[in-house]
Amino acid sequence: MSQDALPPTPWEKSRRRPAAARVPLTRDRIVDAAFTVLDREGLDGLSMRQVAAELTVAVSALYAHVSAKDELLELMYHRLFDGFELPAPDPEHWQDQIRDYARAGRARLLEHRDMARISMAHAPFTADLLPKLEQLLAIFRTAGLPDRISAVAGDVLSTYLDGFALEEGVWADRLRESDEDGTESWKRQRAEMQAYLAALPTDRFPHLVALSGRMAEETQDERFELGLEIIVRGLASYLDDTGPGRSRDGS
């Protein structure tokens, strides 16, 4: 110790901050970090090594909680349904219940980059998610839809949600790469598309030319709502299949 340096006084020692407690590594923290990496890098850039770096731990530490990247993706898919509950089936309002379900599903898929790609690779046939699938099927069957329709209606809806959100994600990535303003970019691309279609030879493409002014004229929200309405009305058209002389399976 130099001649000018003095030892700390007792009260100075007491003012020293204790070392910060290390936060235990848990599955929830790993999934949180995975979503952070996903939003920054996209699904192609998501790796166990990147997640470990986000948590400032060794990659080996992750494997005490998650067996592999595939399990991590499944946990992220499960997180999609956290707090997501369907109402009790109401035969009088089943169409509105399905619309609300679809809107909420799209919103959840868009909360994270490439979430639709993760969703498309998984199915809700796990112990945690089967009750949610049961709730959805209950809405279809209680409404009176034939069993053959109820059995596939949920898959039709999820395919629509995943596909629509995936397309939205692709456009978002393109805008991210180009640094363009989303609204102005969409207006420009829409105008270019409409002008191209309108200029096609009418003898070969009469319908494309006739509809050129209507192609891509809606916003993403409007397109989603129209597609959803087509699905809901299509499902409703099968209600008569359970009328007199028909079995529950519509045969």
Please report, for the domain that includes residue 44, its CATH number: 1.10.10.60
Q: Note whether 182 and 237 are same-domain residues.
A: yes
Cut 0.85: pTM above it? no
Give tens-digit pLDDT for 101-151. Answer: 999 999 999 999 999 999 999 999 999 999 999 999 999 999 999 999 999
Q: Note whether 113 and 213 are same-domain residues.
A: yes
Q: Note whether 65 and 107 are same-domain residues.
A: no
Q: Note whether 195 and 230 are same-domain residues.
A: yes
Give tens-digit pLDDT for 8-33. Answer: 665 555 555 555 557 789 999 999 99
Q: Note whether 62 and 104 are same-domain residues.
A: no
Last residue of a domain, one of 46, 79, 112: 79
Q: Note whether 54 and 98 are same-domain residues.
A: no
| Within-domain flag for 26 | yes
Which DSSP symbol is given to 70? H
Residue 148 burial (C-beta neighbours within 10 Å; 0-12, 13-18, 19+) = middle
- Tally of domains in the chain: 2
Domain residue limits at 39: 10-79
CA distances from 47 to 53, 66, 99, 187 (A): 10, 12, 35, 36
